[in-house]
Amino acid sequence: MSQTAITPTRAANFPEWYQQVIKAADMAENSSVRGCMIIKPWGYGLWETIQRILDRRFKETGHKNAYFPLFIPLSLLSKEAEHVDGFATESAVVTHHRLKKGADGKLHPDGELEEPLVVRPTSEMIIMEAYARWVQSYRDLPLLINQWANVVRWEMRTRLFLRTAEFLWQEGHTAHATAEEAETETLTMLDVYADFMRNCMAMPVIKGRKTPAERFPGAEETYTVEAMMQDGKALQAGTSHFLGQNFAKAAGIQFLDKDGQQKHVWTTSWGVSTRMIGGLIMTHSDDDGLVLPPRVAPSHVVLLPILKGGEADAAVLKMCDDIKARLSQVAYHGRVVEVEIDTREMNAGERKWEWVKKGIPLRIEVGPKDVESGKVPVSRRDRDAKDKTFAAVDELVGGIVALLDDIQSSLYQRALALRDERLQVITSEDDFRAYFAGEGAKGFALCAWAGDEALEKQLKSELQVTTRCLPLAGELPHEVGGTCIFTGKPGELVVFGKAY
């Protein structure tokens, strides 16, 4: 049995494997603040790349960035009843505005606030309050705003990137004159997310609509992109919500239309978070560590000079500098090819394995013999760590874009094949219960469903299974009959799964 860089392996203990991949790649760590994480440079570099690509796409669809307060007055949050109920148990609340040293010499809260402030769990109400001032006429619409921010949701059981008390995200909030415009916006942003995840994150997501029980609190319709992890569990990777006029009425956002009639706007919200990084890890990584799709990797290539401490070292370092300079002139999907040169004084094998575990797409080792031959060994992270091919520098530079794109495609096709193998059409309740019995998660069950919310709660309680989505047309290579396997009533195709 071959030794792996990560222990335990995915097969032996998937949750612990996940934690060890993050540790080995030096992406993040738990902080001294309960439930919060420190995102280290390699992990934050990945988030920055994600942010740059999405930010460009948001702006291409007409959205502008703004920033709204971290604190939301409790009275404001309470204006939309269903919304506040949905976040009440996760809210962190500020009740005092200063500290005072007590008789025991320790600092204690002092100066109680007139009104408690909720630390932002999501920003619908604080943003809608501003929109009520900004929107007066149909000429002010549509209002298309996004913010990059942090949010706090007081999670009891946390896991790096997947579920932490504080996390980073973007949240788009838009206001429209008609329901049709708002619905179009909701689906447009869903498409932006799905395209980004498929073509940049190499994650084969399923676009779908949430059941009423799984909707965002206060929304009329929630759309989602659902991904399958290597252990068969589902990850909700992003959501887009049609909010109707619920928040507009709660916040009093009205406008005069072209006929001089006073009307409430129609609103949407949509967001993705650092949770996507957790999804990427669990979609692509292997028992040797992190695997990064080139289009989101913080760096694309690492050059590993083999230095012997002699006269040949200068030529090795010069070759590395020349390769970096040439690759750094090549455009790659809106960036240049990002190159690292690792000259740390440590064993060459250890340096190589550190970069394997960090998931960088390409590794190139350069030694005196490579300088003499003019060819360098190139190793791809989507293949076995021992595999390598040799390329002349001109060939490497000329073919770098095609090589990175091939790695990107390879990762997507591998993830798609795994997902499609684990889509199971279920035609009876007994088969459904047998499929999800036990602690593990085989994959996604596809079946007809009549929409019984009480049964949804029962399945979640008994089997830890939830309705992931009602897939949109053309999203899956399967068709399922219209008779609900639980009730015998007419139903719709639903994806069920155990989820993170």
Look at residue 470 and tell me whether its pLDDT is greater than 60. Answer: yes
Structural domains in the chain (count): 3
Q: Are residues 429 and 407 in the same domain?
A: no
Is the CB of residue 264 less than 8 Å from the CB of residue 139? no
Q: Are residues 247 and 133 in the same domain?
A: yes
Q: Are residues 402 and 451 in the same domain?
A: no
- CATH at residue 436: 3.30.110.30
Q: Number of helices (H) and strands (E), helices first, in the chain?
A: 14, 25
The Cα–Cα gap between 361 and 161 comes to: 21
Would you tell me the crossing angle of helices 275-284 and 41-60 to the nearest 10 degrees? 110
Residue 1 located in a structural domain: no
Closest CA to 125 of 83, 93, 64, 92: 83
Question: Of 370, 394, 418, which residue constitutes the final position of a domain?
Answer: 418
Look at residue 90 and tell me whether its pLDDT is greater than 80. Answer: yes
Residue 183 located in a structural domain: yes
The Cα–Cα gap between 176 and 264 comes to: 9
Kindly state the average pLDDT of the residues 409-429.
Answer: 97
Instruction: Give the pLDDT confidence score for residue 86 in this predicted structure.
Output: 83
Instruction: Give the pLDDT confidence score for residue 480 in this predicted structure.
Output: 83
Is the CB of residue 196 less than 8 Å from the CB of residue 52? no
Residue 112 located in a structural domain: no
The Cα–Cα gap between 293 and 352 comes to: 19
Letter for the amino acid at 381?
Answer: R
- CATH at residue 65: 3.30.930.10
Q: Are residues 197 and 277 in the same domain?
A: yes
pLDDT class of 383 with cuts at 50, 70, 90: very high
Q: Are residues 185 and 249 in the same domain?
A: yes
Percentage of the residues of the chain whose pLDDT score is greater than 90: 92
Is the CB of residue 268 less than 8 Å from the CB of residue 357? no
Residue 408 located in a structural domain: yes
Residue 111 located in a structural domain: no
Question: Of 403, 418, 433, which residue constitutes the final position of a domain?
Answer: 418
- Mean pLDDT across the chain: 96
Tell me: the pLDDT tens digits for 157-168?
899 999 999 999
Kindly state the average pLDDT of the residues 152-160.
Answer: 90
Number of Cβ within 10 Å of residue 417's Cβ equals: 11
Q: Are residues 308 and 388 in the same domain?
A: yes
Q: Which residues of 305-317 are buried (b: 16+ CB within 10 A; e: fewer)?
A: bbbeeeebbeebb
Our measurement of the distance from residue 106's CA atom to the centroid of its chain's CA atoms, rounded to an integer in Å, reads 41
Q: Are residues 374 and 428 in the same domain?
A: no
The Cα–Cα gap between 46 and 62 comes to: 25
Q: Are residues 174 and 254 in the same domain?
A: yes
Is the CB of residue 317 less than 8 Å from the CB of residue 305? yes
**Residue 389 sits in which domain range?**
301-418
The Cα–Cα gap between 251 and 262 comes to: 15
pLDDT class of 256 with cuts at 50, 70, 90: very high
DSSP character string of 144-173: EEEEEEEEE---SS-BTTTB-SEEEEEEEE
Q: Are residues 180 and 195 in the same domain?
A: yes
Residue 409 located in a structural domain: yes
DSSP tag of 258: T
Kindly state the average pLDDT of the residues 6-21.
Answer: 97
Residue 79 located in a structural domain: no
Q: Are residues 38 and 187 in the same domain?
A: yes
Letter for the amino acid at 137?
Answer: S
pLDDT class of 31 with cuts at 50, 70, 90: very high
Instruction: Give the pLDDT confidence score for residue 84 in this predicted structure.
Output: 77
Kindly state the average pLDDT of the residues 424-442.
Answer: 91
Kindly state the average pLDDT of the residues 385-389.
Answer: 95
Question: Of 284, 315, 339, which residue constitutes the final position of a domain?
Answer: 284
Is the CB of residue 204 less than 8 Å from the CB of residue 412? yes
Tell me: the pLDDT tens digits for 266-301?
999 999 999 999 999 999 999 999 999 999 999 999
Percentage of the residues of the chain whose pLDDT score is greater than 70: 100
Is the CB of residue 228 less than 8 Å from the CB of residue 419? yes
- CATH at residue 394: 3.40.50.800
**352-357 long-range contacts, CB within 8 A, separation 24+:** 352/304, 352/385, 353/5, 353/385, 355/302, 355/304, 356/5, 356/288, 356/289, 356/381, 356/385, 357/5, 357/6, 357/21, 357/24, 357/25, 357/288, 357/289, 357/290
Residue 319 located in a structural domain: yes
Instruction: Give the pLDDT confidence score for residue 478 in this predicted structure.
Output: 81
pLDDT class of 464 with cuts at 50, 70, 90: very high
Q: Are residues 369 and 433 in the same domain?
A: no
By three-state DSSP, how is residue 1 classified?
coil
pLDDT class of 79 with cuts at 50, 70, 90: confident
Look at residue 32 and tell me whether its pLDDT is greater than 60. Answer: yes
Is the CB of residue 451 less than 8 Å from the CB of residue 491? yes
**Tokens 């609103």 map to which residue?**
267
Look at residue 333 and tell me whether its pLDDT is greater than 80. Answer: yes
Omega within 30 of 0 (cis) for the link into 204: no
Distances (CA, A) of 154 to 14, 20, 94, 134, 449: 25, 24, 13, 32, 33
Q: Are residues 414 and 428 in the same domain?
A: no
pLDDT class of 223 with cuts at 50, 70, 90: very high
Letter for the amino acid at 47?
Answer: W
Instruction: Give the pLDDT confidence score for residue 296 in this predicted structure.
Output: 98
Give the dihedral of Cα atoms 193, 195, 199, 205; nearest 10 deg.
Answer: 70
Tell me: the pLDDT tens digits for 53-78?
999 999 999 999 999 999 999 999 88
